[in-house]
Chains A and B, each alone.
Chain A
Amino acid sequence: MGLNSIGIAAVNNAQVALLTAQHNIANANTPGFNRQEAVQTTNFANSTGSGFIGQGAHVETVRRIYSDYLGSQVLSASSQAQFSSSFLSQVSQIDNLLADTGAGLSPALSGFFTSVNTVAANPTSLAARQSLLSGGETLVARFQSIYTQLDNLRNGVNSQLQAQVTNINSYAAQIADLNQKIDDAQTNVNQAPNDLLDQRDQAIAKLNDIINVSVVTQTDGKFSIFVGNGQTLVIGTKASTLSLQNDPLDPGKKNVNYSIGGASVLIPEQSLETGGALGGLLSFRRTSLTTAENALGRLALGLAQSFNDQHVQGRDLNGGLGTNFFNIASSSPLISAASNNGGSLVFTNTGIDAGKLTTSNYLVTSIDGTSFSLTDTITNTTQTIADAAALQTALGAVGINLTIGGTANAGDRFLVLPTRTGSRDISVALTDPSKIAAGDSPIVTAANTTNTGTGTITRGLATPPADPNLQQPVTITFDTPATTFSVSGTGTGNPTAVAYTPGANITYNGWTIQINGTPVAGDVFTVSANTGGPGDNRNAVALAALQVNNTLANNASGNPTTNYQGAYAQLVSTVGNDTQRIRNNSTAQDALLSSNIQAQQSVSGVNLDEEAANLLRFQQAYQAAAKILQTSSTLFDTILNLQ
């Protein structure tokens, strides 16, 4: 009864094809679904004397329409697109922060210097001085607010990393589980479990969006997943886990670690930065975020230090010596020791040099307990330092003045972050407006009115180093003949018969003056404390000039190359450039991904019109096959009705 069996087989075939078409239609919107088709093959023909008689067809398999090549293209494009988009969403936050003209740094800087100029024009006005203190507070608050936002981004990176690591672990577990299920399914039936395969591919795609993976097909058909620079995430049916651990050196930084045998091993960061959203985050943190924080910190520290340097040269409203206008917390520069250091080496900050500060971070590693290697972590250049004294000099050359005590063990590491916390750690030190040092020079010079010669004395300046006798009264009396003079006053040592050269520097007690002209014997010049003169605004004028003078970013010959706004403009430009570059990348990657997906979908995607046509086709096939059965039944009836 070949006819019956062919008919039944045909009906079954049609039914399978219809079911497959229905399956496709139902899953048209399922993510990661590859359309399936039932593959029919003819049965073996019977060989007879009158030829081979066909025996109908059977469904060989339901095949998943899937191109490995197109699939892997989509994976790699998707990984890059996610990398760019994750980086972009982070860096555009810094971009927006700097763009805000109200909340940005420029208006606060301008406002601060406007108030300095007001004090220069009205040095005796307490109202003007108070407004300078307020301007300083506003500036400091603005620095701190921008720092807080950048710090929030840093913490945000940490929490996003945590979420992603959790996802990675769960996808890895899923993939391992699917590996097992696929294996079980295939062992039983020896047919490809299409939907499970689709699910596994989908899990891999989602994992790949987060972290760039390489997939290796084992001989038994299971997939093994590798991440980073070769760490195994899934092997066969076993999944490993990643975890987030604190960085031993950099406070507040968390790294992705790989757990093996109960211990966790650091995955080198740059191996993770090849793609994926995680890679995007890590790359953002290492480049744009660090650069922005350091540039901002350098600006804050540089401003505070250089302003202080000028301020202490002046005299306040009551005639006292100027003190620091800004406070710099001793936690800047930040030097952190690795938690597993064994030695006793300790660094103590003594001050900073505004012009020499850079925007790099430095890693100090003790090679053998005496010598060190000093690595610039931004430019990745290393130099070898012979001993602690040379280390002090080397760090001094980048603006960090400190003292080093104790000894290090071999392998001890220290991370020097000169400017990261700079804009958090400055504050206004003065609270009393009369303590603003608007006046110049704590000393006043005069020629006695009874002098009969033509000698004149310059106004004089306090020159470092600071001398406790700076404001002691000193008298310079010219001898007979007036080619020498005697000096008398506390702290000068009362020298006599000092040779007189017109215009030459005369330095005692920490001040320097010049006498010009021709004094006659008996002429007297005095240097005394500048106790009066509240109308003196010369230091305020010098402070105001700091707005335009170059004070930061010394070049190779030690001359500063930029001023405060210039440094800020560089920061804005760098962030803007980064964002623009990433945005362009992201747009390009998105376009590439889109075209890859189109290519893949054009092979594996469900087209509802096509499926509708298939439904019609297989329906007809079913109807035709049913007719075969009917014919077979009619034939049998005919045979039965033979009398």
Chain B
Amino acid sequence: MRISSSTLYDLGVTTLNNQLAATVKTQQQISTGKRILTPSDDPVASSRVVEIDNTQNVTNQHLENISTARSTLNLEETAVSNIIRVFQNARQTVVTAGNAALSSADRASLATVLRSNYDELLGIANARDNQGGDYLFSGYSTSTKPFSQTTGPGVYAGDSGQRQLQITATRLINISDTGQDLFQPGISGRDPFATIENFITALGNSSVTSQVTSAAGVANTGGASISVAVAASATPPQGVLTFTYDALAIPPQFSIASTNPTADVAWDGVTFPYTSNQVNTINGVSFIITDSPTAPNNGDTFTVQNVITPGTNLPIANQVSTGASASNVGNASLTTSVITGAIPPQAQVTLNYSSTPSPQITTVSTDPAWNGLTIPYVSGQTTTINGVSFTLTDGTTPLATGDSYTINNATDAALGGLDYALNNALRILSNIGSRQNELDSTQATNQDASLAAQTALSNLRDVDFAKAISDLTRQQNSLEASQKSFLAIQKLSLFNLL
């Protein structure tokens, strides 16, 4: 077949161009390390690469989140561990304070220890995160201090939100716990702040509030009344004083008897002639008996006693604390007062209100002196058992059947409250621990996934260097051969020989 001269050159040049292009492409692949230079080299693989890249990116986000979560949870774990330590210390102090042989100075120093426990607890509750900005236990209100009170029960200023982070495509993990959950503020028997504060008050250095009260005997037939006044430096009687009117004596006189004659030697056995409205003073306590509205009759009695609200003068074993059930419907208030020598319940007493068959309070306790009593209910009425008086007064919402209140001696109440708070904190600590475990295992899973994606990407995208280099060598050889053969053929021309 006939070859024209232009075909000769065209074919040669075209082949050279093609081989050069192939060589350059291989060289590009080697120098970039990528098999796919443009999507058209392998469209299916290119789109797969885009998708796997995205998945990789998401997995990396999750790994980032896991590390953030881990650091936050570690911080929380430290805080909660410290809280548990504070609870244990406070508990120890409460147990020590139960020793009846302590002096008031000892009790004062124990109160100081508890106060510092309270402050430490408050400080940990208000802990901030590593950057020093956000509060750990405020929920979402991270710029609001969760607990601002310096004394008294906890008042929570945060919200109930738990912050979450995405650690896998389907799992959001909580990285915070709220102060609400951890301290249960405001709920009696559970709020550690209230528990400690109540016990401090029980130990407390409040000024003596004692009140000398007087009352006419219930069986009086006459109409006289008695009033007392106490001077600043008075020494009130320790026991209950009974004034008995002897109308038959000449002159008519009162005689005083004390339930504690040894301590009340200034009072016991004293007699004084009766003159209405006359002021008599013994040891700084003045009393006046008046014919108001009418004169006393023979045998009428009056009582005078010193009522002491819980304060320093009573050993801790005699203090009482009260509580109300969280499920109460009514909002009645329960107050107590104790006299010297009162014996508080040795175990928790539960007062249950029922409106059937008639409004009444029944008591349940393992302390036999307080168990199984039924007291008809009248709002504001005081009942006294063993020197402990309690008064239940209606609030704005009336009591409903099933409402219950507790009276307990202060030590048991404090221990109970601290135990509850301790268990609650342990619960949260173990929850944090299990979340940390989950983070560890999720991290391992995510890293495996990331590695698998990397491998897939590499298989799709990266050049096989051995193959590419051998291709390059082969193409170079072909190119050289084409060039040489082209030159050789081009030299052959009849004109060279003419």
**Interface presence of A355 (CB below 8 A):** no
Distance between A390 CB and nearest chain B CB, rounded to angstroms: 37
Residues of B within 8 A of A563 (CB): 54
A547 to B57, CA, bound (A): 10
**Interface presence of B251 (CB below 8 A):** no
Residues of B within 8 A of A583 (CB): 40
Q: Which of A534, A601, A613 contacts B7 (CB 8 A)?
A: A601
**Interface presence of B290 (CB below 8 A):** no
A569 to B39, CA, bound (A): 10
Supposing A124-B133, A536-B140 touch, asked if A608 and B5 sit within 8 A by C-beta, the answer is: yes
**Which of B76-84, B323-331, B405-413 is found at the contact surface with chain A?**
B323-331
Distance between B334 CB and nearest chain A CB, rounded to angstroms: 16
Q: Which of A113, A449, A579, A613 contacts B61 (CB 8 A)?
A: A113
Cβ contact within 8 Å between B494 and A613: yes
Residues of B within 8 A of A538 (CB): 164
Supposing A459-B161, A565-B50, A605-B5 touch, asked if A121 and B40 sit within 8 A by C-beta, the answer is: no
Cβ contact within 8 Å between B329 and A606: no
A601 to B5, CA, bound (A): 9
Residues 42-60 of chain B, each 1 if its beta carbon lies under 8 Å from chain A, else 0: 1110111011011001100
**Which of A2-10, A93-101, A356-364 is found at the contact surface with chain B?**
A93-101
Cβ contact within 8 Å between B40 and A92: yes
Cβ contact within 8 Å between A579 and B3: no
**Which of A41-49, A217-225, A270-278, A570-578 is found at the contact surface with chain B?**
A570-578
Residues of A within 8 A of B356 (CB): none
Residues of B within 8 A of A572 (CB): 39, 43, 46-47, 50
Q: Which of A117, A522, A536, A579 contacts B161 (CB 8 A)?
A: A536
Distance between B404 CB and nearest chain A CB, rounded to angstroms: 11
Residues of A within 8 A of B443 (CB): none
A610 to B131, CA, bound (A): 91
Cβ contact within 8 Å between A597 and B42: no
Residues 254-280 of chain A, each 1 if its beta carbon lies under 8 Å from chain B, else 0: 000000000000000000000000000
Centre residue among A444, A532, A541 by max chain B CB count within 10 A:
A532
Q: List 13 A-B contacts (CB under 8 A).
A: A98-B38, A117-B61, A121-B65, A124-B142, A532-B144, A534-B140, A541-B165, A541-B172, A544-B61, A547-B54, A575-B40, A576-B43, A598-B11
A537 to B142, CA, bound (A): 11
Cβ contact within 8 Å between B164 and A541: yes
Residues of A within 8 A of B41 (CB): 576, 580
Cβ contact within 8 Å between A99 and B39: yes
A439 to B494, CA, bound (A): 89
Cβ contact within 8 Å between B495 and A576: no
We find that the number of chain A residues with CB closer than 8 angstroms to chain B is 74
Cβ contact within 8 Å between A121 and B64: yes
**Interface presence of B159 (CB below 8 A):** yes
Cβ contact within 8 Å between A535 and B138: yes
A130-171 contacts to B (CB < 8 Å)? none
A512 to B165, CA, bound (A): 24
**Interface presence of A592 (CB below 8 A):** no
Q: A28-B6, A99-B46, A121-B68 are in contact. List 15 more A-B contacts (CB 8 A).
A: A99-B39, A452-B327, A533-B161, A535-B163, A547-B54, A568-B50, A572-B39, A575-B39, A576-B38, A606-B5, A607-B5, A609-B493, A610-B2, A612-B493, A616-B498
Q: Which of A449, A547, A568, A607 contacts B58 (CB 8 A)?
A: A547
Residues of B within 8 A of A548 (CB): 54, 58, 169
Cβ contact within 8 Å between B39 and A28: no
Centre residue among B37, B38, B44, B160 by max chain A CB count within 10 A:
B38
**Interface presence of B488 (CB below 8 A):** no
Supposing A535-B142, A569-B48 touch, asked if A95 and B40 sit within 8 A by C-beta, the answer is: yes
Q: Which of A110, A574, A576, A616 contacts B53 (CB 8 A)?
A: A110
B128-179 contacts to A (CB < 8 Å)? 131, 133-134, 138-144, 159-161, 163-166, 169, 172, 176
Q: Which of B2, B51, B142 contacts A534 (CB 8 A)?
A: B142
**Interface presence of A554 (CB below 8 A):** no
Cβ contact within 8 Å between A533 and B141: yes
Residues of B within 8 A of A575 (CB): 39-40, 43
A459 to B47, CA, bound (A): 41
Cβ contact within 8 Å between A535 and B494: no
Cβ contact within 8 Å between A565 and B39: no
Q: Which of A125, A576, A603, A608 contacts B46 (CB 8 A)?
A: A576
Residues of B within 8 A of A70 (CB): none
Q: Which of B140, B161, B166, B493 contacts A120 (CB 8 A)?
A: B166
Distance between B169 CB and nearest chain A CB, rounded to angstroms: 6
**Interface presence of A566 (CB below 8 A):** yes
Distance between A123 CB and nearest chain B CB, rounded to angstroms: 8
Please name the residue on chain A nearest to B180 by beta carbon: A449
Residues of A within 8 A of B143 (CB): 124, 532, 534-535
Distance between A490 CB and nearest chain B CB, rounded to angstroms: 22
Please name the residue on chain B nearest to A121 by beta carbon: B68
A598 to B2, CA, bound (A): 9
Q: Which of B5, B39, B498 contacts A579 (CB 8 A)?
A: B39
Distance between A292 CB and nearest chain B CB, rounded to angstroms: 11
Please name the residue on chain B nearest to A459 by beta carbon: B161
A171 to B49, CA, bound (A): 48
Distance between A313 CB and nearest chain B CB, rounded to angstroms: 16
Q: Which of B139, B140, B142, B495 contacts A612 (CB 8 A)?
A: B495
A536-575 contacts to B (CB < 8 Å)? 536-538, 541, 544-545, 547-548, 563, 565-566, 568-570, 572-575
Q: Which of A98, A117, A566, A579 contacts B64 (CB 8 A)?
A: A117
A359 to B295, CA, bound (A): 110
**Interface presence of A472 (CB below 8 A):** no
**Interface presence of B4 (CB below 8 A):** yes
**Interface presence of B14 (CB below 8 A):** yes
Distance between B264 CB and nearest chain A CB, rounded to angstroms: 46
Residues of B within 8 A of A576 (CB): 38-43, 46-47
Please name the residue on chain B nearest to A33 by beta carbon: B6
Cβ contact within 8 Å between A452 and B166: no
**Interface presence of B397 (CB below 8 A):** yes
A520 to B330, CA, bound (A): 11
Q: Which of A95, A520, A566 contacts B329 (CB 8 A)?
A: A520
Please name the residue on chain A nearest to B53 by beta carbon: A106
A534 to B397, CA, bound (A): 37
A603 to B50, CA, bound (A): 53
A408-456 contacts to B (CB < 8 Å)? 439, 444, 446, 449-450, 452-453
Residues of A within 8 A of B186 (CB): 449
**Interface presence of A29 (CB below 8 A):** yes
A169-211 contacts to B (CB < 8 Å)? none
**Interface presence of A594 (CB below 8 A):** yes
**Interface presence of B105 (CB below 8 A):** no
**Interface presence of B1 (CB below 8 A):** yes
